Amino acid sequence: MASAVLGDTAKPKPEREPGVRLQVFEVERPMGRGQRLAGEQSANLDRTIAQFHLEGDEEFLDEVAECYVARLTSQLEIEREGNYVFEVVSWAPADLWIDGNVVAQGVHTQHGIATSVHLAAGKHVVRVEFCVGGGEPHFAMRWTPPGANKAAEIPTDVITAEAFYFRPTSPGFKLLENEAARPGLHRKVAGLYPSLDIETIHPPEVEVPVGGLATMRDGTLVVATFDARKLRAPHPQPEPDGELWLYHNPTGDPAKIERELIAEKLYEPAGVCVVGDAIYVSQRLEVTKFQRDETTGNWQPTTVASGWDCNDFHALSFGLVHEPGPEGHPGFLCMAKGTGLGLKQNPPQHGSVWRIDLSLPVGKNVEAITGGHRTPNGLGWGPEGTLWVTDNQGEYTPANEMNLVVDGKFYGFFQRAADGAEPSPFQPGATREHNSAAVTEASVWLPQDEIANSPSEPVMIPAGWPFAGQMLVGDVKYGGVNRVSLQQVDGVWQGAAYRFTQGCEGGINRLAFGPDGALYVGGIGGDHASTWNWVDPTGKKTYQALQRLTPNGEVTFDIEHMSLRPQGVEVRFTQPVDNSWLADTGNYQLQQWTYEATPGYGGPKKHVEPVAVQKATPASDRRSVLLELEGLKPNRVLHLVTNPRSVDDQPIWSAEAWYTVRRLPSRDDQEPQLPHVVFVT
């Protein structure tokens, strides 16, 4: 239904390139024998090198910390079956995997150790890891293929690395697996939240990469799909392949759900909303209204907004939500336009939330109301009619974010514009380093890899669900759904983030509650960057999901909320805890930090320091405790770790919370202003 405006200054990068992928993960201290990195963390450095060879004096390692883990990965393609001998020389203990199996472990020699492996003809994944504890690593690996007399470097024409247009990285020290870690404690939760049941509602033979999700008044589920694996930087897809489906009776037996295709050839539909009996879909170059023709039964498309250029794969049209207008007015649509990161030649109004006036003619009804967003992959209504938008870590965005949408505000992503490109709306002339006051900081930080990696759509939890009135946020890369409780302090919205659930079939991109209270979740994934897909527990990349979540009545022992009080913080649990445990200040570990936004990808934690608990006072119902804190500061992330068991001896589901402190309450604010359930239609 639309075609993109394509430039000719860059070509899509191939999926593979000659060489070896090198990832470097900085660690605070050398790892012990048998110790491993905690899973799914972004590297500090990610690049392709020519060979399985590292001296340590390479220029690209100059800024790397003294201690680090090096991971080298390549795809080996061989034409001949037989025994291949791999000779490893390593000054640091190194492990060698082939096709996921350890074939050499703890290799630590300057003279080389040879390992023989029988390989079939075809492709094999070769991976090496070693930890450098100071000094130069000096690592090299050679091979002796069948029929050869001596070891030599592996030919460059048989080893390839994944090719990415850009490679998201993250600063700071990485977490190591340790005995204290468990699901929900310094690690992701494992599996589905126990208070929920889940069912897959698409046919097993059909993949459903979900770009948009909404429900109609009769419960019919509206699903927009497109294949994000076809997104190859730097340009948009050359041909639209999106579809719009209706799932009739989605609350019933999944085998009896009827699917109806109502539109094809949509251009990367990344948002859907329903207003009355009409369906609105945000595409790359337009917003389209679909209305059923009662005479023919067909769904007729009408363009309600268009006229903008879009030349970059990253500038999707995220959304949609409907904002009611005054009496007699059809209302407004809100959509978030991503920033182009491939060509960096942004047309006007990118990196922005748009308000579309449905009463005005096409071409004159789009207004940019915010600026400074990088990847605003999700808009949703929150408490008291507030509108929220998420964003992904990246340049000038040191961690993932959830932001309150306020007209005229700039949220910090300074577009690195090429010649002739346009800055983001409301972008100040001076860069962030020289004009930090012009930036509206995140209401809620979602620290990279600790609780998020690619946050998506936020939705408010309705009555009848656990944690009603709070928010849920999907995540395409971290996987599953996280939870956020919001609080107003001194008129400023801020709040805490908690892990909620995993156990879905793909990385969650869209969420929608149905009129019966079921939560529908849709997943997607792509390969245009090194991160935009969720890897399931078996190690498989995922690219789609469509499932239904329903409460089952079970009460899971968890942190209900963490909120600020004048004396410190109140922590409330879903079930009672023993009074003596609650009163022991040693059972709470708190740390605070701030972030430094930089032009590089991500930003380091700054001013990291412990926060002392002076006193812990349990409430009479044994479900809450007031922690009196010393040294709590504004504009910090306050991280809580607490690991109680309920009076029924249940372990806590998730033992951590991350509260973004923008304002500190005064002594006059005796009660936290927690959200209540508000439905916005």
Q: What is the DSSP string of 639-673?
A: EEE---BBTT-PBPS--EEEEEESSPPPTT--S-B
Task: Count CB-CB contacts under 10 A for residue 440.
Answer: 18
**540-553 pLDDT per residue, tens:** 889 999 999 999 99
Residue range 629-650: mean pLDDT, rounded: 98
Q: How far apart are CA 588 and CA 581, in angstroms?
A: 10
pLDDT of res. 1: 45
* 303 contacts 324 by C-beta, under 8 angstroms: no
Residue 465 has pLDDT above 70, yes or no: yes
Confidence (pTM): 0.88
What residues have CB less than 8 Å from 195, skipping those under 6 apart? 466, 551, 552, 553, 554, 555, 556
Handedness of CA 404, 317, 518, 400 (dihedral sign): negative
Residue indicated by tokens 């599996």: 191
**523-577 pLDDT per residue, tens:** 999 886 666 788 888 888 899 999 999 999 999 999 999 999 999 999 999 999 9
Pairing of strands 370-371, 409-410: parallel
Residue range 421-427: mean pLDDT, rounded: 89
What residues have CB less than 8 Å from 291, skipping those under 6 apart? 277, 278, 279, 299, 300, 302
DSSP of 199-231:
EE-S-TT----EEEEEE-TTSPEEEEE--GGG-
Q: Is 674 exposed, middle or buried (0-12, 13-18, 19+ CB in 10 A)?
A: middle
Lowest-confidence pick of 165-169, 304-308, 508-512, 627-631: 165-169
Q: How far apart are CA 53 and CA 56, in angstroms?
A: 10
**SS3 sequence of 13-49:** CCCEEECEEEEEEECCCCCCCCCCECCCCCCCEEEEE
Give residue limits of the domains in the chain: 16-162, 559-661
* 505 contacts 547 by C-beta, under 8 angstroms: yes
First to last CA, the chain: 28
pLDDT above 70 as % of the chain: 91
Residue 223 pairs in a beta bridge with 213, 245
CATH for 16-162 is 2.60.120.260
Lowest-confidence pick of 6-10, 381-385, 488-492, 608-612: 6-10
* 472 contacts 458 by C-beta, under 8 angstroms: yes
Residue 162 has pLDDT above 60, yes or no: yes
559-661: CATH, from 3.40.50.10860, 3.40.50.970, 2.60.40.1220, 3.60.15.10: 2.60.40.1220
Residue 109 has pLDDT above 80, yes or no: no
- Confirm whether 16-162 and 559-661 share one CATH topology: no
* 222 contacts 291 by C-beta, under 8 angstroms: no
